[in-house]
Amino acid sequence: MIKLVDVRKVYKMGKVDVEALRGIDLEIEEGEYVAVLGPSGSGKSTLMHIIGCLDRPTSGRYYLDGREVSRLSPSQLAEIRNTKVGFVFQSFNLLPHATALENVELPMIYRRMRAKERKKRAKMLLDMLGLGERASHRPSELSGGEQQRVAIARALANDPQILLADEPTGNLDSKSGEEVVKMFDDLWRQGRTIVVVTHDPAVAERAERVVRLLDGRIVQ
Amino acid sequence: MRVILQFLGELKRERTRMFLTVLGIAWGTASIVLMLSVGQGVIEGARRGMQGMGKAIVVVWGGETSKPYRGLKPGRKVRLREEDARLLREKVKGIGSISPEYIRWGVYVSSGKRSMNTRTVGVWPEYGPLRNICPQEGRFLNQLDLRFKRRVVFLGDEVARRLFGSDDPVGKVVHINRVPFTVIGVMKKKLQTSSYSGMDKDATFIPASTFRVMFGHRYVNDIVYRPDDISQAELVKAEVYRVMAWKYRFDPEDRQTLRMWDTIEGERAFGRVALGVQMFLGIIGGLSLLVAGVGLANIMYAVVRGRTREIGIRMAVGARPKDIIYEYLLHSALTVLAGGAIGFGLSWGLVEFINALPLKGEVFKYLGRPVMSTTTAIVASVVLGVVALTAGIFPAKRAASIDPAEALRYE
């Protein structure tokens, strides 16, 4: 399902080139639960951004469902992000002025889903994640755990096959973190492909497979 | 709908900033609309004044030949007669209406104990419509008056005022050079800013046939005509020269022989000047709007910058570049729409207010009243549209070109 061949990513920091990824070869099968483990600065987030089509590799090839996506146009990449991938971020990345319901609706808006239908689905997802009563609250009125659950509901809005999570428990207390990790377990059991980027071995050990990253290279 | 709600939310959150932006657009809109309205009013006032003498008319006077022609020396005088008007009506295709004009200055006119010296004009009935002379009371001269050499008179409004005060003069008798005439009508007051023999309000109009008998003039002062089709005015003019040249034996190219006042050409020139003035005023008003547009573009850039992370989030969940462009263009358009509507409303209110004021006096008569025409609305709307588009498109494109991965890291 996901196949990276000799993927490299170089950032220009002023006059200096910084190599975030130095030739990544990685395959993830459909329905796998993979943790990408590594210290800060190892290139985990860059890898996740490339897998999630938020960023493009400087060189190498990236195949998603057999299609090479590294050379697609910004609009084509947006369509993939909208329909095939769901993101969960460490800092939740919810729209501050929108309610929980409106945040969950967002991916469906860009999929041109009708208002009535998307509101119904957003409500259903929030109910499923135990946030039915908090639908009209803004992120500032929610706890960290609740915000992350809203973010998960948003990631599931268009029923994507792949769920990408970047340090999903990083900003949560241990109880909320545990709840979020359990949700990923459930979603994996439902057949979704889960890729979790983390530096926390406790989170990584829930995954089927752990990929260790160091200085932009897979070490194990 | 979603973007409109988002815009309203922005209005609420960023009250001061949005108020100032909308105010700038409203101010710019009001300045362009008011400039054009006042300009239109002044131009219409001036045009009304010009047309007080008659719309699209040509006045022809006799003159002196300046070229030798078939053995005849230059310097011969050509003086027009009443039958020349008949000849021109008969021979020149394209003349809509025509009238000769006899003039006698310093004619003694009296009614009871009131008297004055005035100008008496002998004309055909066509003269009234030609020279924009409409009756306020009674009627203008007709064909029967002309045929039977009736002693009837149509009074200029100032003559009527001086001889009859506030009384209705129609049906009463005035004496012109001690000959009794029945008043058949009084001219409706009009704005007249140009003339060639005096203002119509100060004249008395009698049938040309009566005039000839009474004063014994052999020559007319001038002949006034209007072509059927304004676009053919030059051809008609050339025909008038040709027919008169044939009759009086002068070179049709000798333009000194007949003097002509072509108000059609004057109106065309005035139209060009008016357009120039309107464009100038429009540009001044447009510059104010442009400044407001630059302010809006600045605000839009600030909005994009302030929302970099939000744009990143939207892109991460599937917004395409064109979705982002659409959102920010609509945001800019809504700001312009709000400011434009307020500006239009303010200008309309101000124009209505000025027009409701009882402003009297010569100045206002000539200045006219501000007019909010469809053209003004269209010009202002087009300029507003251009401002909305240009103020919105660059920030919107900037927003759409944001790298989502970078934007998500943006604090």
Mean pLDDT, residues B295-320: 89
Q: What pLDDT does residue A154 have?
A: 95
What CA–CA distance (Å, rounded) separates B103 from B121? Answer: 5
Write down the pLDDT at residue A192: 93
Give residue limits of the domains in chain B. 2-51+267-409, 58-264
* pLDDT band with cut points at 50, 70 and 90 for residue B107: very high
HSE-up (13 A, CA, CB side) for residue B2: 17
Per residue in A1-10, pLDDT (tens digit) is 899 999 999 9
Reported ipTM: 0.93
Q: Does B183 score more than 80 pLDDT?
A: yes
For residue B135, what are its two tokens? 């009756």
Mean pLDDT of B66-73: 88
Question: B7: helix, coil or strand?
Answer: helix
pLDDT digits (tens, 9 = 90+) for A40-85: 889 999 999 999 999 999 999 999 998 998 888 999 999 999 999 9
For A111-131, b where at least 16 C-beta lie within 10 A, e where not — what string? Answer: eebeeeebbebbbebbeebeb
Give the closest residue to B233 by CA, choosing from B197, B272, B267: B267
Give the minimum alpha-carbon distance from A33 to chain B in angstroms, rounded to a whole number: 21
Domain ranges of chain A: 31-54+73-218
The reported pLDDT for the residue numbered B3 is 67
pLDDT given for residue B31 in this prediction: 87
CATH number at A31-54+73-218: 3.40.50.300
Distance CA B137, CA B154 (A): 10
Confidence of residue B361 (pLDDT cuts 50, 70, 90): low
A176-212 per-position pLDDT tens digit: 888 888 989 999 999 999 999 998 888 898 899 999 9
**Mean pLDDT to the nearest integer, B343-372:** 80
Chain A, chain B: beta-carbon pairs less than 8 Å apart: 61
Contact A55 B404 (CB under 8 A): yes
B68, pLDDT greater than 70: yes
Residue A211: what are its φ and ψ, rounded to 5°? -110, 120
**Residues 367-406, chain B: which have Cβ within 8 Å of A?**
403-405
Q: What pLDDT was estimated at residue B190? A: 87
pTM above 0.80, yes or no: no
Q: Whose CA is closest to B317, among A119, A95, A29, A194? A: A95
Taking contacts as CB-CB distances below 8 angstroms, the residues of chain B near A74 are 320-321
Please report the pLDDT score of residue A164 as a whole number.
Answer: 95
Q: In chain A, which residues have their Cβ closer than 8 Å to the Cβ of B317?
A: 81-82, 87, 106-107, 110, 154, 157
pLDDT tens for B221-253 read: 999 999 999 889 999 999 999 999 999 999 988
Question: Is the predicted pLDDT of residue B366 greater than 70, yes or no?
Answer: no
Mutate to test the interface with A, among B1, B317, B325 (most CBs of A within 10 A): B317
> What integer pLDDT is reported at residue B365 of this predicted model?
66
Q: Which residue has the tokens 């920010």?
A: B328
Q: How confident is the model at residue A166 (pLDDT cuts 50, 70, 90)?
A: very high
Q: Are B9 and B281 in contact (CB under 8 A)?
A: no
Say which residue, B17 or A34, is predicted with more confidence. A34
Region of B201 on the Ramachandran plot (φ > 0 left; ψ -120 to 50 alpha; else beta): alpha
- Model pLDDT, residue B39: 86
One-letter amino acid identity for B60? V
Q: Which two tokens stand for residue B1?
A: 């709908």
Q: What is the pLDDT of residue A125?
A: 94
B231/A56 Cα distance (integer angstroms) = 67
Calpha distance B327→B313 (Å, rounded): 14
CB contact under 8 A, B321 and A74: yes
Mean pLDDT of B108-116: 93
Radius of gyration of chain A (CA): 17
Q: Is the dihedral of CA A119, A122, A126, A131 positive or negative?
A: negative
Q: What is the pLDDT of residues A100-130, one digit of tens each?
A: 999 999 999 999 999 999 999 999 999 999 9
**For A39, what's the count of Cα atoms within 13 Å in the CB-facing half-sphere?**
3
First to last CA, chain A: 20
B320 part of contact set with chain A, CB < 8 Å: yes
- Residue B368: pLDDT above 80? no
Tell me the percentage of chain A whose pLDDT exceeds 90: 75
